[in-house]
Structure 1
Amino acid sequence: MTPNELFSLKGKIAFVTGGATGIGRMATTGLMQAGAHVLIASRKADACLAVAEELNQMNAPGSVEGFAGDVGTEEGVEALAKAVQERTDKLHILMNNAGISWGAKLGEFPFDAWAKVMNVNNAGMFSLTQSLLPLLIASSNADDPARVVNVGSVMGDAPLGDGAYSYAASKAAVHQITRIMAKELASQHVTVNALAPGPFVSRMTAFATADETTRSKVGDDVPLGRVGREEDIAGCMQFLCGRGGSYITGAILPVSGGIQVMSGPNLFRAALEG
């Protein structure tokens, strides 16, 4: 089997929430380059339309279509699911990427920062997937299941708060929801996996990655010595959503440069080196 056969997404319909920026845009680009028609949505319709126009000028095998959508409320999820249903009667790939964070010091972290983050990162993600299940199941079969890819975080695996307590907890929940849905949807030929990214350049991490000097310092603290790149996300999506990933479900794929296996100092290094 050729690489094109393993990773081609020609003829596939994908939907990426938060697809205009950051990891969502990286995923959208990768899916489009593999041949998929990618629907993208965020709260800012203008941004999605602009990104769709820009990416469509790349003359890639696939294409992108942008529109408005919000997963932060029940009404928003219902409207977004309807907008997708108006555009397609089948959905091969759903990437739940939309998410928000909140940062504050321990002792100053506000009560409201929990519900607001959990509503988008957990309730919105789960509810949208639930609403779009009929479209996913309509496209699936045993040889080529539909794919759901949720965006978690290395902060959901490792005890890293960094002032984003509700965000870290919400991403741990994303990983658990992914495993549960993978178990429950396997018999309907829908795979459910998650990415657990480390530091990538995005609007959410702009405080640490927008400036090249700061970004380099952040990368120095990653075991593999750099922050994530666009191709790191694109490659994961082409793998998980292509034929080569059709037998994988319930996986939390660490895209963090090794942060997830950092466990502190070698306890006996001084004795062994002495």
Structure 2
Amino acid sequence: MTAVADLFNLKGQTALITGGSSGLGLQIAEALGTQGARVVISARKADVLESAQAHLAGLDVDASWIAADNAREDHVERLANDAMERLGKIDILVNNAGATWGAATADHPLSAWDKVMNLNVRAIFLLTQQIGRLSMIPNRYGRVINVASIAGLKGNGPTSQPTIAYNTSKGAVVNFTRALAGEWGKYGITVNALAPGFFPSKMTRGMIEKVGIEKLAERAPLQRIGDDDDLKGAALLFASDAGKHITGQILAVDGGVTAV
């Protein structure tokens, strides 16, 4: 029997986290890194990545960074190859990078639709495919964690900002997770998704300023929004041996919003 603490230990494991320079991605990097994983974080801007690396180093996390724009196929391929060269293998892939766009469906620009779909869906497929080919399938081991959203589990209310492309893209991530779990289970790879509710981030800053945290918190049974620690335990469960018999699942971390 394995000790419970050992089930969550990631010593000797490696992780690649997209969108890892801030927000939810950085929070996940903290969780995996402080449990012993060697971490590579990725985002578009080098200066922000450098700051995030320094923050992680302050937590004694072995972290490095690779700048890449996951909306570009050549960048995705380079990211996968560079991460493999740096780490030797990728045990844990966290697909967190994403974008949103608020607009009424009747007025939604096609260019904005394509931007959201390219980063939130196409890029996840491309990077997961690359990491599967290069590391997880040959090694017959892997943990894929997709960051979806409760927006992929439901529609928006009549008073909410319309985000048709974002909701659609996150719904695609939900079923991408289930489909890939069914296909890659035979290789010893688990594929799960986190579906966060409202968390403070660069993506949600405008909504917080417009509506206010108190009003947003009122929507949740727990009467609060997510904080800087609320995604860590769920991410660690999916990344570690504590979750080795869990695959194809979508875990809402939302204060109970989707329960009512």
So what's the TM-score if we normalise by structure 1? 0.88
Residues 150-204 of structure 1, C-alpha deviations (whole Å, 9 max, x = no match): 0111000011273211010000000001101000000011100001110001100
AA aligned to 2:59 is M
AA aligned to 2:168 is A
* Identical residues among aligned pairs (%): 38
1:259 to 254, 257, 260: 257
State the partner residue of 1:202. Answer: 201
Shift of 1:85: 2.1
- Higher Rg: 1
Q: What is the aligned residue count? A: 255
Q: Is 1:88 matched up with 2:84?
A: no
State the partner residue of 1:271. Answer: none
State the partner residue of 2:15. Answer: 14
What CA distance in whole angstroms lies between the structure 2 residues aligned with 1:106 and 1:187? 40
What CA distance in whole angstroms lies between the structure 2 residues aligned with 1:236 and 1:41? 21
Shift of 1:222: 1.3
What CA distance in whole angstroms lies between the structure 2 residues aligned with 1:44 and 1:128? 18
Structure 1 residue runs without a partner (length 5+): 263-274
Q: 1:139 to 1:36 in 2, by over 3 A?
A: farther
What CA distance in whole angstroms lies between the structure 2 residues aligned with 1:9 and 1:210? 38
Q: Is 1:36 matched up with 2:37?
A: yes
Shift of 1:210: 6.1
State the partner residue of 2:154. Answer: 158
What CA distance in whole angstroms lies between the structure 1 residues aligned with 2:51 and 2:121? 28
Farther-moved stretch of structure 1 (121-130 vs 228-237): 228-237
Shift of 1:138: 4.2
Farther-moved stretch of structure 1 (112-121 vs 80-89): 80-89
What CA distance in whole angstroms lies between the structure 2 residues aligned with 1:114 and 1:199? 22
Structure 2 SS opposite 1:107: helix
Residues 79-133 of structure 1, C-alpha deviations (whole Å, 9 max, x = no match): 2112212212211100000001111134322122211111111010011000111
What CA distance in whole angstroms lies between the structure 2 residues aligned with 1:66 and 1:26? 15
Contact 1:91–1:138 (8 Å) recurs in 2: no
Residues 4-25 of structure 1, C-alpha deviations (whole Å, 9 max, x = no match): 2121111110000000111101
State the partner residue of 2:71. Answer: 72
What CA distance in whole angstroms lies between the structure 1 residues aligned with 2:26 and 2:235? 12
Q: Is 1:187 matched up with 2:186?
A: yes
Contact 2:95–2:124 (8 Å) recurs in 1: yes
Alignment of 1:137-176 (within 5 A): 137-140=137-140, 145-160=141-156, 162-176=161-175
What CA distance in whole angstroms lies between the structure 1 residues aligned with 2:209 and 2:121? 27
So what's the TM-score if we normalise by structure 2? 0.93
Farther-moved stretch of structure 1 (88-97 vs 1-10): 1-10
What CA distance in whole angstroms lies between the structure 2 residues aligned with 1:233 and 1:32? 14
AA aligned to 2:135 is L
State the partner residue of 2:115. Answer: 116
